[in-house]
Amino acid sequence: MIKVLFVCHGNICRSPMAEYFFRNLAEKRSLSDYLHTESRALFSDELGSPPHPGTERKLKEHGISCEGKRAELFQKSDYSRFDYIIAMDNANVAKLRRITGDDPQKKVFRLMDFTARPGEVADPWYTGDFDTTWNDTKEGCERFLEYILYNNPHLFPSEQIDRRKKG
Compute CA 118 distance to the chain's CA centroid, rounded to the nearest angstrom.
Answer: 15
Classify the C-alpha dihedral 23-110-135-73 as positive or negative.
Answer: positive
- What's the pTM value of the predicted model, to 2 decimals? 0.94
- Residue 31, Cβ neighbours under 10 Å: how many? 21
Is residue 63 pLDDT above 90, yes or no? yes
Share of the chain above pLDDT 70, in %: 94
Q: How far apart are CA 11 and CA 79, in angstroms?
A: 17
Per-residue confidence band for 153, with pLDDT thresholds at 50, 70 and 90: confident
State residue 155's pLDDT score. Answer: 86
pLDDT digits (tens, 9 = 90+) for 73-103: 999 999 999 999 999 999 999 999 999 999 9
State residue 29's pLDDT score. Answer: 92
- Residue 161, Cβ neighbours under 10 Å: how many? 16
pLDDT digits (tens, 9 = 90+) for 95-150: 999 999 999 999 999 999 999 999 999 999 989 999 999 999 999 999 999 999 99
Pairing of strands 108-110, 35-41: unpaired
State residue 118's pLDDT score. Answer: 96
Is residue 154 pLDDT above 80, yes or no? yes
Given a contact cutoff of 8 angstroms between Cβ atoms, the answer to whether 42 and 124 are in contact is no
Compute CA 138 distance to the chain's CA centroid, rounded to the nearest angstrom.
Answer: 10
Known catalytic residues are: 8, 14, 123
State residue 166's pLDDT score. Answer: 40
Classify the C-alpha dihedral 142-148-153-154 as positive or negative.
Answer: negative
Beta-carbon contacts of residue 63 (< 8 Å; ≥ 6 apart): 24
Q: Which domains does the chain have, with CATH numbers?
A: 2-157 (3.40.50.2300)
Mean pLDDT of all residues in 53-60: 98
Classify the C-alpha dihedral 56-116-23-121 as positive or negative.
Answer: negative
